[in-house]
A and B are shown apart, each in its own frame.
Chain A
């Protein structure tokens, strides 16, 4: 673009180059908040983990090539298949899709200059890296998780697995979940608020709809996993009894919590792949996707229905039909939105003029495998069939067609498709096609025979099998396929690495793509677009008039936004320009925060709780310093029509926390349903008066928070400070009295005494922890308001923290009712 610019336009570009110049070298990478650099960090890190997971898979397949092999010991095999699952799901697919593709492409596709929260974006990456290293330290020291990626209790309980293996799993996944949640919140707010003016919801690319659906699923599903792991660690490290039948606990509670997360997680894995497919297909068929609204809807609907099907992973546990039927019905119906997308892809290819270049080939392969995996999925939605093939290789075949064929193939197609955008060079087409065919055949040969050995009775997760079982030939075939597949995948990497240095140079849009990322240079500059693009359809790059108009606007300096790190923010539904935001630049605090958090989790793992508490204090200080530097005030429109990004971010965080509490309260009642008497004999019923009065005090503190927001909006700093201080006194008083009561109760009721007591103390403890967090937020806010006064940035903080309290106070009422339920 630069070579064709007129002098006034070039002057604008030069100014942007100066404003957005990145720090060079290692320090630049360590402190970057640029979404493209963070996307690349995610890309290379998750690719490294993909390699590790692949090696684990090959080791397993080598062990299983024949009966009674000794490549791996039984203990090593357990660690390998567990780490393979954890790695591929938590350290490869999710970070590769939401972290790498989402980070790099979403802001480009919606015409933004960065993610909504650039520093949170950086900390998400560093936490992801920390959690990955945390889990691989376990493998290096021989303590890797070893009870399968879904880690069922009682196998994972202290009694049967006394080492640190399961603790690495529990803390590692909670640690990793923080990163994924932060990334998901960031993606949602970015797509809601930073779309280029004119890009209404109906004009947002299907790629973004897919990522939006996946991000919502992550925010709402991950709390269940974190909670399951928290209960597990409380059981293992502190002797609680959530999963211990002897004390009123229930192992099925783990399965429920795990799969409440686990099934939406399948869609978290697959939906971004759908998004990649809907980007590649129009570009290589030279036509718009058919049924655009239905495909967008199907992406969201799959995510929504995905929350109602988790028990189909538990059909063999003996639950009553009146319970399982809810899940069987939803499992049947969820096929329809998946099929809508499938038919839309196929129809678009059929009615377009397809060019079967490498990216489209991977998508065709994905469609074939997704159909196979989808059909076997329908078979296991039928309860009687599922009970027959449960825990056999049939299931391994099913989910590998869905996850490897359905998610990894589009990821590889996406790598080829966007490679010219990232590098400005073209990959080698013939080697690309060869890598596809090797991988396609390898996948089919590896996984298809698993259906047959599964139906023939071969159980999954066995390190060997008897010679007379009749499974040897098919296992040999599977292992040969695995090596062929590995070779195909290696060829992908070789092709891309060689092309990076030796590939043909290409312009900004070698594919004549339809979405905005192809409008900017390859690779894109740090500011993405010299002029914020105008959008009037869902395929903005095919709107030639709009793009020509952008050049004129650049010459006139309209929509250039070069006063600082600026990006426009729009209204959520119709993307009307609302304000111009000043985004933060590089910062060392994200890396610092992640390092402290990693140390905190390491101390928890080693049961050094006092040191962990000290690190918690350090973490709070780091977060306070992080927010010490208020950015340049945003240029707000005369009347701001949409909520600020900070309030959106807090709302989504609170949605996750609400799910966490919904999980704790549901667990409490689940254990109640399974008990003969609740509370168990000998335990007094909870006292009603004191907790009710204390909760009333906390709820009363809502009033000064409301007042603080009103006065802050009016610019009245003294009144804001007074109202906040009053709220703080009430909230801190509530916390002090509650903690005093909780300690007093420990003399008569021990959390190690029964599942009831475990649930009671965990429910109250979690809520008190949230009140403590709120008190710390209040103190930090007061500190910065006194030091720096009331700015637009601090006003958003007041509104966000007030929102935090509204929700925590509402949860307090739910917690109180649950706590008092045996006495009511």
Chain B
């Protein structure tokens, strides 16, 4: 991977970290709010079904995770000595997998 791409990956990881910091806070507050009367699928779906706001929020959350996690794991691999092109390909696949899993879940609770 060329230097320019390495720098952009670093920038993407920093930017996604900022997004994640906000998303995790909102997520925690929502968890505490959601379990106040016990947790039920009806209540969750009642909040999320058809909600553009919650759909947008979770879409952003999933996108940030899909960007952030593979870059971090790539850094660990590089530091542990795995520096071939294979690690970049594998991390791209991991990013797509995380995005797919996450978006499928968002799809399930919003639509």
Chain B binds chain A: no
